[in-house]
Amino acid sequence: MKRNRLRIAGFSTGALALLSLTGCLSPVTIERAGVEYDRAVTSVITEQLLLNIARARHHHPIHFTVVSNVAATFDFRTSAGVTPRLAAGDGPEILPIFGSTVAENPTVSIVPVEGEEFTKRILTPLDESKFHFLLRQGVDLSMLLRLMARGFRSEGPEGEVVFANSPSSPSEYQEFRRRVLHLSALHQARKLYIEPMVFEKTWELPLNSAEAFQALEKGYHIAHNEKDRAYILRKQVTGRIVITNYDPDILSSEVRYHLHVEASKWPSNQILVDIRPGYPGGEYPFHGGFRLRSFNSILSFLAKGIAEEPEHHVEKDPRTGPSKFNPPKTLEIVEGDSQPADAAFIARYNRRVYAVRGQSQGDEAASGWNLEAFRMLYHLFQMTVTDVSKVLVPSITIAK
């Protein structure tokens, strides 16, 4: 009897241990699954980016899909039982049986980026707010402008002059690169200001005007002008982003307002630049604006750079200070029959391999630039994300 009680106690202890183990296993399994799903989604996006560059390389239509939802259920089960001992001996007459199973049932919803969603995310030019946000994260200015800007436009004696960021127009491309290098050198030396223009707006209203009291409720400052029997309304306004080689605060509010008005004449995908003589970098003065591309145009620019319109080295202007980086290509994508040994990201299209190289034994600075440029491309795509739950096109649901 005592031996039987010991057997039952041992069986109970084993069952409790199994249940305890299952309880510990559940959060660990969920944590690992979450990390793996995150890794898988990131891998899908990076491969899609390279795949669409390869499509554009062959002048084929591009297409994106977005993982809108990942729902996974986990079923943890344990079982315990006994079975009679098959062979005779001194051991126990019955043997315990323990078991546990973990079942995962993921459902992934994939939404094609089409229609109005495609227009907003892929075809609409990127605005200055995205440029300014990325710059505040510490991104190299020349990398950002070479990736995002279609060109630089300015007013000359004979009208508008455009310097395209396209190797197909060599003289324009070289001047664009020189201006970008000049701004980058000033930015690295902390002599460049890239901020929204802030100014004070004022106007007068009659003393008996009801609008004066409404303005007071909206945050305007009101002063009383006895001479003209009027109210003077003032309010600080944050305007468009302007790139300057001087602190805009040294200018009067009226001059800052006029710069804002000039910038406001352009759409939100253009950034005003005002490099003046008498300030750092003023030996090479210019005034105009960068016109930002759409995401589709960025992909097309990178695709043409593979073979059709390859970028080339451009020497900085003699008036430009030292700059850390000036690689020939904004983002070097290798096209070949096989995967390079140092490939960080790859995609296959038309029986060809397209790769972004990682750290190699060659120029480490160039390799770092290349990976950072691809990371910026990834961030730009993510910054175009809208609410995919409102997309009306059919989604694709994959259940394991």
**Is the model's pLDDT at 355 over the cut of 50?**
yes
- For tokens 């600075």, the residue is 365
Report pLDDT for 221: 57
Mean pLDDT (the chain, rounded): 79
Question: Cα–Cα distances in Å, from 130 out to 31, 62, 144, 384?
Answer: 33, 23, 11, 9
Does position 139 have pLDDT exceeding 70, yes or no?
Answer: yes
Per-residue pLDDT at 20: 52
CB 398 within 8 A of CB 107: yes
Token pair for 339: 């995967």
Q: Where are the domains of the chain?
A: 2-42+68-112, 139-295+308-324
pLDDT tens digits for 273-303? Answer: 999 999 999 999 999 999 999 999 999 999 9
- The secondary structure element, H or E, covering residue 42 is helix 2-57
Cβ pair 376, 134 in contact under 8 A: yes
Residue among 263, 267, 48, 302 nearest 166 (CA):
302
Contacts of 381 (CB under 8 A, 6+ apart): 45, 49, 295
Q: Mind listing the pLDDT tens digit for each residue in 44-78?
A: 889 999 999 999 999 999 988 877 666 666 565 66
Tell me the pLDDT tens digit for each residue of 233-260. Answer: 667 778 899 999 999 989 888 888 888 8
Looking at residue 111, what is its pLDDT?
Answer: 74
The least confident of 17-26, 229-238, 314-323 is 17-26
Record the tokens describing residue 24, joined without a space: 């510990």
The C-alpha atoms of residue 80 and residue 94 are separated, in whole angstroms, by: 13
Choice between 157 and 133, residue whose per-residue pLDDT is larger: 133
Say which amino acid occupies 320: T
C-alpha distances in Å from residue 73, one per residue of 239, 245, 307: 49, 57, 47
The whole-number pLDDT of residue 241 equals: 93
